Amino acid sequence: MHNQFIDDYRQQRHITTVELDEQALLDFDVRTLEQMVIDEQTLDQVWRLLDPLERELMYLWAVEGFTAQQIATELEQPRGSVLSRIHRIRKKLTTAMPMHDVRSERGEKHES
């Protein structure tokens, strides 16, 4: 009996418990899920504004992070045409969705 008590005591010392504020975790998850749904809906709206070539160009530029030269090589088009198209697409999206800022730090840089 004495040994059992000592064993139980030793096991309890090694177990640490942490109390979590479940409500705070739930609030965070709900806001995150809502934002994900809103972002997905916004992306879907933006995507429908673009024709297939514009979608491909925006995907390569905004998602894959290709430079204008890399896109030009990939699409077999002049670099200047790619830059012009990116500019027109950004203008189109800014006009169509003024409440969302289409500019990004990457998009603000001018490539040479």
Pure H helices in 1-112: 2-14, 22-49, 52-58, 68-75, 79-96, 105-108
- Residue spans of the chain under pLDDT 70: 1-3, 5-6, 9-31, 33-34, 38, 98-112
Q: Where are the domains of the chain?
A: 21-108
- CB-based burial, 68-106: b 16+ in 10 Å, e otherwise: beebbeebeeeeeebbebbeebbeebeeeeeeeebeeee
pLDDT tens digits, residue range 38-49? 677 877 888 888
CATH-assigned architecture of domain 21-108: Orthogonal Bundle (1.10)
Cα 82 from Cα 96, distance rounded (Å): 21
pTM over 0.75: no
